[in-house]
């Protein structure tokens, strides 16, 4: 995905956040799952403010984070979020996160629009272009995933457990929770300069045992034999 500057014209929704005690590592760095949760909250606040929260459901298909400087406790943040592109059944949402202490994170997410039951993709709601079209500026985006769909044979595997407290209102592991896989590997370390991470979601997952399979910069999360998500991380 490509980072896009906030548009000079069109809807840009601004959402304040304060980095709290439950959001950070022992050293005070905001965890990746906290950043992903703030992005979800800003997206919901945007559609609620626009009055279109009941026009179908949206699910994250892909999220990319670029961190120049991670937020820290107790920094005051502002998230500015806008539509940076669209397709027939999905839309791209870009968000900038800036902090009073120098936090600098950029995010690009692909959201798929579903019917009210959350089962099938459906065309974007009639109100979409009127609200978000100007900001998107006619930019078209694709929904194709880029990570290999399966881990290679013989890749290192370790057990994982999703808890009931990880579930959202749909009864699935919340999208933000998957980033804890990378946080466990970081073990509280600071993010290197120009850190980049990406997650691709392939299916829902419930509470219970899972497996994390690693191969270089890639991680696959499996529930049983099914890959439910994959993550990549690195710099540059």
Q: Which of 137, 199, 136 is nearest to 173 (CA)?
A: 199
pLDDT above 70: percentage of residues in the chain: 99
Task: Give pLDDT, residue 93.
Answer: 98
- Residue range(s) occupied by CATH 3.10.129.10 in the chain: 13-136, 156-235
pLDDT at 156 over 80: yes
pLDDT tens, position by position, 87-145: 999 999 999 999 999 999 999 999 999 887 767 899 998 899 999 999 999 999 999 99
Mean of pLDDT values over 52-70: 91
- Compute the half-sphere exposure of residue 111: CA atoms within 13 Å on the CB side of its CA: 25
Q: Residue 192 and residue 203: Cα distance in Å, rounded?
A: 30
How far apart CA 167 and CA 205 sit, in angstroms, is: 9
Virtual CA dihedral for 52, 47, 64, 156, nearest 10 degrees? -70
At 216 the pLDDT is: 96
For 84-101, what is each residue's pLDDT tens digit? 999 999 999 999 999 999
Average pLDDT, rounded, for the chain: 95
CATH fold of the domain at 156-235:
Thiol Ester Dehydrase; Chain A (3.10.129)
Q: Is residue 236 very low, low, confident or very high in pLDDT (cuts 50, 70, 90)? A: confident
- Assigned CATH for 13-136: 3.10.129.10
């Amino acid at each position: 995905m490509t980072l896009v500057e906030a548009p000079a014209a069109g809807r840009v929704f601004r959402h304040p956040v304060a980095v709290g005690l439950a959001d950070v590592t022992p050293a005070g760095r905001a965890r990746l799952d906290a950043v992903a949760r703030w992005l979800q909250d800003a997206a919901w606040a945007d559609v609620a403010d626009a009055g279109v929260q009941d026009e179908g459901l949206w699910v994250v298909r892909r999220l990319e984070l670029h961190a120049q400087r991670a937020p820290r406790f107790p920094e005051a943040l502002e998230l500015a979020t806008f539509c940076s592109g669209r397709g027939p059944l999905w839309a791209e949402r870009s968000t900038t996160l800036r902090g009073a202490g120098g936090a600098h994170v950029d995010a690009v997410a692909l959201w798929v629009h579903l019917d009210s039951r959350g089962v099938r993709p459906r065309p974007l709601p009639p109100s979409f272009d009127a609200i978000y079209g100007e900001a998107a500026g006619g930019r078209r985006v694709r929904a194709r995933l880029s990570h290999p769909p399966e881990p290679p044979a013989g890749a290192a595997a370790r057990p994982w457990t999703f808890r009931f407290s990880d579930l959202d209102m749909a009864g699935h592991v919340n999208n933000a929770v998957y980033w804890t896989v990378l946080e466990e590997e970081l073990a509280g370390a600071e993010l290197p300069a120009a850190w980049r991470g990406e997650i691709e979601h392939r299916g829902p997952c419930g509470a219970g045992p899972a497996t994390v399979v690693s191969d270089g910069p890639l991680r696959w999360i499996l529930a049983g034999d099914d890959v439910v998500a994959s993550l990549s991380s690195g710099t540059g």
